[in-house]
């Protein structure tokens, strides 16, 4: 039996803790640090996501995971100068894999603080340099260039968990979980995500440009590994907003769309022009920008951020926000199960969503389709529910 001792379980008082493969070997090697229970949950879920995303797209893929859901996930597409500044990186010397991680981490820099990073391809030196400077709890990839591994082994004084995954590992068809002394068993979710999933367009608008089809498939893959209920917004090959683990579908949609709005507003010239005092950390800058864009921020919150700026910035007025967001139509919204009410479509329209991919099958499908038709959206029913718990 292949076994790995863990620091502790979900919480420090849950000891002992271990990971083991009773009938074979563990599909990964530890190249640095010592992972914990939550680390492995993030690692094994995030690896499945990036492997599937990379295989489907033919591009490098990366994900930034927190608490067994992606805060961001992306393909390795080039970054514009504005997007690079919003993601707090420079475009010089970025590899495609580094671009994927910059996009994934930059989707929601607040939520990605202390993330688990996952990569579909061996980590190269440019990617390791990005990862080394971020507050991160570990990473998983199918390999590491020697220079990249040396950089990551220096992180956290040598305590940064670095996992090398067996790219060819295929788990058993059945998976088991023990809850309160009861063992649950099911076939693992090996449903294939591919172009055929998008064949059933149910709206009057049936046009699915290639970029929209790509982003719909990205949304489906990502939702397969997000804690349910879940909704995500995708643009240009990357997730820009995730609403995970909510009991109500509309709350998932509001959360995902609000995050997507902030992602777009971070590209506004007024936000890119914010100037911080020397020595302000990357995490504090991310917090300050988030507060700057938070319309309901309280006076104490704003007072705490004021000392971080070189000079206090002028507010970004609501009219300017709305005008800026209106420049970016055509986002994809994905739902891991059917959309039960039209309020989800109404909220999505405010965030520039032009395409929807969902399972379908609600008793109110006609109402939801009618709402999409009102906004000129194209909507696909996949017939595939993607709950993940």
Range of the domain at 289: 273-315
pLDDT surpassing 90 at residue 357: yes
| Domain identity same for 95 and 227 | no
**Mean pLDDT of all residues in 186-191:** 95
| Domain identity same for 307 and 229 | no
pLDDT confidence of residue 29: 95
| Domain identity same for 69 and 124 | yes
pLDDT in tens, 32-41: 999 999 999 9
pLDDT in tens, 205-222: 999 999 999 999 999 999
pLDDT in tens, 132-169: 999 999 999 999 999 999 999 999 999 999 999 999 99
Give the CATH number for residue 146.
3.40.140.20
- HEC per residue, the chain: CEEEECCCCCCCCCCCCEEEECCCCCCEEEEECCCCHHHHHHHHHHHHHHHHHHHHHCCCEEEEEECCEEEEEEECCCCCHHHHHHCCCCCCCCCHHHHHHHHHHHCCCCCCCCEEEEECCCECHHHHHHHHCCCEEEEEECCECHHHHHHHHHHHHHCCCEEEECCCCCCCCEEEEEECCEEEEEECCCCCCCHHHHCCECCCCCCCCHHHHHHHHHHHHHHCCCCCCEEEEEECCEEEEEEECCCCHHHHHHHHHHHHHHHHHCCCHHHHCCCECCCCCHHHHHHHHHHHHCCCCCHHHHHHHHCCECCCCCCCCHHHHHHHHCCCCCEEEEECCCCCCCHHHHHHHHCCEEEEEECCCCCCHHHHHHHHHHCCCEEEECCCCCCCC
Residue 305 pLDDT grade (very low, low, confident, very high; cuts 50, 70, 90): confident
Residue 356 pLDDT grade (very low, low, confident, very high; cuts 50, 70, 90): very high
pLDDT surpassing 80 at residue 101: yes
pTM: 0.95
Residue 312 pLDDT grade (very low, low, confident, very high; cuts 50, 70, 90): confident
Residue 98 lies in a domain: yes
**Mean pLDDT of all residues in 216-235:** 97
Q: How many CB atoms lie within 10 A of CB 311?
A: 8
When the pLDDT of each residue in the chain is averaged and rounded to a whole number, the result is 95
pLDDT confidence of residue 229: 95
Residue 296 pLDDT grade (very low, low, confident, very high; cuts 50, 70, 90): confident
Pairing of strands 230-235, 238-244: antiparallel
| Domain identity same for 142 and 208 | no
pLDDT confidence of residue 238: 96
Residue 181 lies in a domain: no
Give the CATH number for residue 280.
1.10.287
| Domain identity same for 231 and 366 | yes
| Domain identity same for 119 and 226 | no
The residues, any chain, with a CB within 8 Å of residue 9's CB and separated by 6 or more, are: 15, 17, 36, 37
Instruction: Measure the CA–CA gap between 176 and 154, rounded to whole angstroms.
Output: 37
Residue 273 pLDDT grade (very low, low, confident, very high; cuts 50, 70, 90): very high
Instruction: Please give the tally of structural domains in the chain.
Output: 3
pLDDT surpassing 80 at residue 23: no
Active-site residues, by number, are 66-67, 229, 389
**Mean pLDDT of all residues in 281-306:** 87
For the chain, what percent of residues have pLDDT higher than 90?
Answer: 90
pLDDT confidence of residue 235: 97
Q: How many CB atoms lie within 10 A of CB 101?
A: 33
Q: Which has the closest alpha carbon to 73: 37, 111, 35, 123? A: 111
Q: Which of 124-128, 150-154, 201-205, 315-319 has the lowest mean pLDDT?
A: 315-319
Most confident range (mean pLDDT) of 123-137, 286-300, 303-317 is 123-137
**Mean pLDDT of all residues in 267-274:** 95
In angstroms, the Cα distances linking 227 to 53, 61, 301, 337, 387 are 18, 20, 30, 12, 7
| Domain identity same for 194 and 248 | yes
């Amino acid at each position: 039996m292949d076994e790995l001792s863990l620091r502790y379980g979900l919480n420090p008082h849950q000891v002992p803790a271990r990971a083991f493969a009773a009938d074979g070997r563990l599909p990964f090697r530890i190249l640095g640090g010592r992972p914990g229970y939550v680390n492995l949950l993030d690692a094994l879920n995030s690896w499945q996501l990036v492997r599937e995303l990379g295989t489907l797209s033919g591009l490098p893929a990366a994900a930034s995971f927190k608490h067994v859901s992606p805060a961001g996930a992306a393909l390795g597409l080039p970054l514009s100068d504005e997007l690079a500044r919003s993601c707090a990186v420079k475009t010089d010397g970025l590899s495609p894999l580094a671009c994927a991680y910059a996009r994934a981490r930059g989707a929601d820099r607040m939520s990605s603080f202390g993330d688990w990073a996952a990569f579909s391809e061996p980590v190269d030196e440019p990617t390791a340099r990005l990862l080394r400077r971020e507050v991160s709890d570990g990473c998983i990839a199918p390999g590491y260039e020697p220079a990249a591994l040396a950089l990551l082994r220096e992180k956290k004084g040598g305590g940064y968990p670095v996992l090398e995954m067996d790219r060819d590992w295929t788990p058993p068809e059945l998976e088991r979980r023990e809850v309160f002394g009861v063992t649950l068993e099911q076939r693992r979710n090996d449903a294939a995500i591919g172009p055929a999933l998008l064949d059933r367009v149910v709206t009057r608008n049936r046009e699915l440009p290639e970029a929209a089809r790509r982003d719909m498939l990205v949304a489906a893959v990502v939702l397969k590994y997000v804690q349910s209920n879940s909704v995500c917004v995708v643009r240009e090959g990357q997730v820009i907003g995730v609403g995970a683990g909510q009991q109500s579908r509309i709350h998932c949609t509001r959360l995902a769309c609000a995050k997507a709005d902030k992602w777009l507003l971070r590209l506004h010239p007024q936000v890119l022009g914010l100037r911080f005092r020397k020595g302000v950390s990357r995490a504090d800058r991310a917090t300050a920008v988030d507060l700057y864009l938070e319309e309901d921020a309280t006076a104490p919150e704003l007072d705490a951020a004021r000392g971080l700026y070189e000079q206090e910035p002028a507010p970004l007025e609501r009219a300017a926000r709305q005008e800026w967001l209106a420049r970016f139509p055509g986002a994809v919204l994905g739902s891991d199960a059917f959309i039960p009410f039209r309020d989800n479509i109404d909220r999505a329209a405010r965030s520039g969503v032009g395409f929807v991919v969902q399972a379908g099958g609600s008793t109110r499908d006609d109402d939801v389709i009618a709402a999409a038709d009102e906004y000129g959206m194209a909507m696909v029913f996949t017939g595939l529910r993607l709950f993940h718990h």
